[in-house]
């Protein structure tokens, strides 16, 4: 579920004719006094963060003078929720409230209909008054029955003269939710002012993930459930997922407070929900702090797993890399092994790695991973389904302790063979290029490369590999070329390199585009 900030939600309400307080978003404390002046007099300041109950946390404050506004803004802009600092504060005219109503729209899975929750007894503490809240089903074709809303109002302390304006606002709120395909839209409180105007004083909207692509106007970076604004790496990961539909890739960074008192920060790479959870528990039980959650499953390509590993390793302060998932994956695990081996080799991995590659063809997968990483400074160990997550986590802890150096992922950097971008030959594939150092090839090796690439390459007649398929077919074969790259490496003949730069992390090798 993608969430919108309060102000963005209110702006959408306004576009649908709902009255909202005049307001402006600031990012610096010194902007507060200008905002106050423009709004004229008393203002309310509100942190724009994805948290509930801001008022109780000091995230809603009132100010009457420029000094008050600026000092409230500077406190708020210094606040931190999880590891996400408050970056925006909404400064709004403070409106004189006569009545507060709770209005919430959700898609009710049981009722299989949008549901309007309405409470007319004041805003906060709604959780404790669940029994008082009216629930009205909304017809997908005809909307709400105004009469049903009026009945609820008649049963409330709200004077009847205000009822038409409240019904009108609720109809507009429903129209807003419908237009943006909201999964939920809450206005808490919808307020009736002393002069009778009905105003949305707060707004939280979540958009259905599957509808996000229809709403570029909302500017949602990541159509997935996150409890914080997307980090740079999460945005990069999301783009990778959007551009490659082979299997699924999910990456989210986790709160890391207090990791200094534990055994260290680590990168986590799961495969398959339940097994990943078990594995996260196992490695947390060893005292490690997970910098991230990551899942590559559903038969991901080697290229996708490679990119996932690269993104994980881009995080700072990691002491190791722990991968473990379902353990009984039906996907061919060697695709993942190739992708991981490529990432670790490119990064000249120095941190301990334990990967549980349980599942189909696991022996071959473990063999590929360990053999391809044998010359790296790091110890890289692969395990199988019969090795429990707890066992693997324990082994990982031993390796991290043995290493016991000050080194972390901060010191890692990507290295690309010197001949890439130079005299070697290249052809484009989706998302990058394949480079072949033809001057180091011979007929024997070329014959093997034809096999390792699954027939994508053949001997050009002079003992040098050339494409055996059309450029279009080759372009889709990034994972097969990764397999070929790793097999060349294992054979001690690293003559092929798949350059798959990740936008936002790498620059493209010179001359390769
Ligand atoms: P939340 O605590 O995160 O839900 O933040 P809200 O924006 O809903 O504000 C919390 C409460 O502050 C509301 O229920 C109101 O009682 C009060 N409040 C917010 N804006 C105003 C305003 O403009 N005028 C007045 N008088 N009270 C306000
Ligand atoms: Mn609220």
3-state secondary structure of 285: helix
How confident is the model over 304-316, as a mean pLDDT?
A: 97
189 in contact with ligand 1, CB cutoff 6 A: yes
For residue 458, give Cα distances in angstroms to 424, 425, 432, 455: 17, 15, 21, 7
Q: 3-state SS of the chain: helix, strand, coil percent to 5?
A: 40, 25, 35
For 431-455, letters b (16+ CB in 10 Å) and e give bbbbbbbbeebeeebbebbbebbee
pLDDT at 43 over 60: yes
Q: How far apart are the C-alpha atoms of 113 and 119, rounded to whole Å? A: 19
User: Which residue owns the Cα nearest ligand 1 atom 10?
Assistant: 55
Would you place residue 299 in the very low, low, confident or very high pLDDT band (cuts 50, 70, 90)? confident
pLDDT at 486 over 70: yes
pTM of the model: 0.65
Of all ligands present, the nearest one to the C-alpha of 56 is 1
Number of H helices, E strands in the chain: 14, 27
Q: CATH classification of 425-499, choosing from 3.30.450, 3.30.70, 3.30.1710, 3.10.450?
A: 3.30.70
Identify any residues that bridge with 459 across adjacent strands, giving them in sequence order.
465
For residue 24, give Cα distances in angstroms to 4, 33, 198, 422: 16, 12, 20, 53
* Model pLDDT, residue 221: 67
How confident is the model over 429-458, as a mean pLDDT?
A: 96
53 in contact with ligand 1, CB cutoff 6 A: yes
3-state secondary structure of 492: coil
Q: How far apart are the C-alpha atoms of 300 and 244, rounded to whole Å? A: 9
Neighbours of 178 (CB within 10 A): 16
User: Which residue owns the Cα nearest ligand 1 atom 11?
Assistant: 55
Of all ligands present, the nearest one to the C-alpha of 6 is 1
Higher pLDDT, residue 244 or 270: 270
Domain 232-411 superfamily per CATH: Succinyl-CoA synthetase domains (3.40.50.261)
Domain 22-93 superfamily per CATH: ATP-grasp fold, A domain (3.30.1490.20)
201 in contact with ligand 1, CB cutoff 6 A: yes
359 in contact with ligand 1, CB cutoff 6 A: no
Write down the domain spans for the chain.
Answer: 22-93, 97-212, 232-411, 425-499
Would you place residue 311 in the very low, low, confident or very high pLDDT band (cuts 50, 70, 90)? very high
The residue to mutate among 97, 103, 188, having the most atoms of ligand 1 within 8 angstroms of its beta carbon, is: 97
Higher pLDDT, residue 141 or 35: 35
* Model pLDDT, residue 242: 81
Q: How far, in Å, from the CA of 62 to the mean position of ligand 1?
A: 10
pLDDT at 510 over 60: no
Q: What atom in ligand 1 is closest to the CA of residue 6? A: 7
State the DSSP string of 74-127: HHHTT-EETTEE---EEEEEPP-EEEEEEEEEEEETTTTEEEEEEE-S-STTGG
- 389 and 356 in contact (C-beta within 8 Å)? yes
% residues pLDDT > 70 (the chain): 94
- 396 and 320 in contact (C-beta within 8 Å)? yes
Q: What atom in ligand 1 is closest to the CA of residue 94? A: 23
Helix (H) or strand (E) run with residue 354 in it = strand 353-356
The residue to mutate among 42, 92, 96, 202, having the most atoms of ligand 1 within 8 angstroms of its beta carbon, is: 202
pLDDT at 212 over 90: no
At 195, list the tokens. 């002069």
Which residues have C-beta within 8 Å of that of residue 362, sequence separation ≥ 6? 333, 384, 385
94 in contact with ligand 1, CB cutoff 6 A: yes
Would you say the CATH fold of 425-499 matches that of 232-411? no
Mean pLDDT (the chain, rounded): 91
Q: How far, in Å, from the CA of 144 to the mean position of ligand 2?
A: 23
- Beta 23-26 vs 89-93: how paired, if at all? antiparallel
pLDDT in tens, 153-194: 999 999 999 999 999 999 999 999 999 999 999 999 999 999
9 in contact with ligand 1, CB cutoff 6 A: no
Would you place residue 144 in the very low, low, confident or very high pLDDT band (cuts 50, 70, 90)? very high
CA–chain centroid gap for 198, Å, is 37
pLDDT in tens, 87-117: 899 999 999 999 999 999 998 888 888 999 9
Q: How far, in Å, from the CA of 188 to the mean position of ligand 2?
A: 4
194 in contact with ligand 1, CB cutoff 6 A: no
Short-list 288, 211, 303, 290, CA closest to 249: 303
pLDDT in tens, 9-37: 999 999 999 999 999 999 999 999 999 99
Helix (H) or strand (E) run with residue 11 in it = helix 6-15
* Model pLDDT, residue 375: 96
pLDDT in tens, 213-229: 788 788 776 666 666 77
Which residues have C-beta within 8 Å of that of residue 432, sequence separation ≥ 6? 478, 498, 499, 500, 501, 512
Q: How far apart are the C-alpha atoms of 13 and 176, rounded to whole Å? A: 6
pLDDT at 278 over 50: yes
98 in contact with ligand 1, CB cutoff 6 A: no
Look at the domain 97-212 and name its fold: D-amino Acid Aminotransferase; Chain A, domain 1 (3.30.470)
């Amino acid at each position: 579920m993608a969430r919108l900030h309060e102000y963005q939600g209110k702006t959408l309400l306004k576009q649908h004719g709902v009255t909202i307080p005049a307001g402006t978003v600031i990012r610096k404390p010194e902007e507060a006094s200008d905002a106050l002046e423009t709004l004229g007099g008393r203002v309310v300041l509100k942190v724009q963060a994805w948290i509930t109950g801001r008022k109780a946390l000091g995230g809603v404050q009132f100010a009457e003078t420029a000094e008050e506004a600026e000092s409230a803004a500077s406190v708020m802009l210094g606040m931190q929720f999880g590891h996400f600092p408050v970056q925006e504060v909404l400064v709004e005219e403070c409106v004189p409230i006569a009545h507060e109503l709770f209005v919430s729209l959700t898609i009710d899975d049981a009722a299989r209909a949008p549901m309007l929750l309405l409470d007319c007894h004041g805003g906060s503490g709604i959780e404790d008054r669940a029994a008082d809240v009216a629930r009205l089903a909304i017809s997908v074709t005809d909307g709400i029955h105004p009469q049903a809303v009026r009945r609820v109002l008649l049963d409330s302390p709200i004077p009847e003269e205000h009822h038409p304006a409240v019904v009108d606002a609720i109809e507009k709120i429903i129209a807003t939710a419908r237009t943006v395909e909201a999964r939920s839209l809450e206005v808490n409180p919808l307020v009736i002012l002393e002069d009778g105007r009905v105003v949305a004083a707060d707004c939280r909207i979540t958009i259905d993930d599957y509808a996000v692509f229809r709403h570029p106007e909302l500017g949602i970076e990541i159509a997935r459930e996150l409890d914080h604004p997307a980090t740079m790496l999460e945005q990069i990961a999301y783009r990778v997922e959007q551009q490659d539909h082979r299997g699924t890739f999910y990456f989210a960074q986790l709160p890391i407070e207090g990791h200094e008192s534990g055994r260290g920060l680590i990168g986590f790479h799961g495969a398959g929900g339940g097994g990943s959870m078990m594995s996260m528990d196992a490695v947390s039980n060893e005292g490690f702090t997970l910098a991230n959650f990551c899942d590559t499953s559903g038969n991901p390509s080697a290229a996708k797993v490679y990119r996932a590993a690269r993104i994980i390793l881009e995080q700072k302060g990691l002491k190791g890399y722990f991968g473990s998932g379902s353990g009984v994956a039906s996907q061919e695990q060697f695709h993942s092994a190739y992708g991981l081996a490529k990432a670790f080799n490119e990064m000249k991995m120095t941190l301990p790695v334990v990967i549980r590659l349980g599942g189909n063809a696991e022996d071959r997968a473990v063999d590929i991973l360990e053999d391809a990483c044998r010359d790296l400074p790091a110890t890289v160990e692969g395990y199988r389904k019969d090795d429990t997550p707890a066992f693997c986590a324990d082994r990982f802890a031993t390796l991290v302790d043995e290493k016991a150096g000050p080194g972390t992922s901060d010191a890692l950097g990507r290295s690309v063979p010197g001949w890439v971008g130079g005299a070697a030959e290249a052809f484009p594939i989706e998302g990058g290029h394949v480079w072949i150092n033809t001057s180091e090839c011979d007929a024997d090796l070329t014959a093997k490369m034809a096999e390792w690439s699954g027939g994508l390459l053949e001997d050009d007649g002079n003992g040098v590999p050339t494409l055996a398929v059309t450029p279009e077919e080759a372009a889709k074969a990034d994972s097969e070329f990764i397999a070929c790259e790793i097999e060349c490496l294992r054979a001690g003949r690293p003559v092929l390199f798949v350059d798959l730069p990740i936008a936002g992390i790498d620059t493209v090798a010179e001359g390769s585009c």
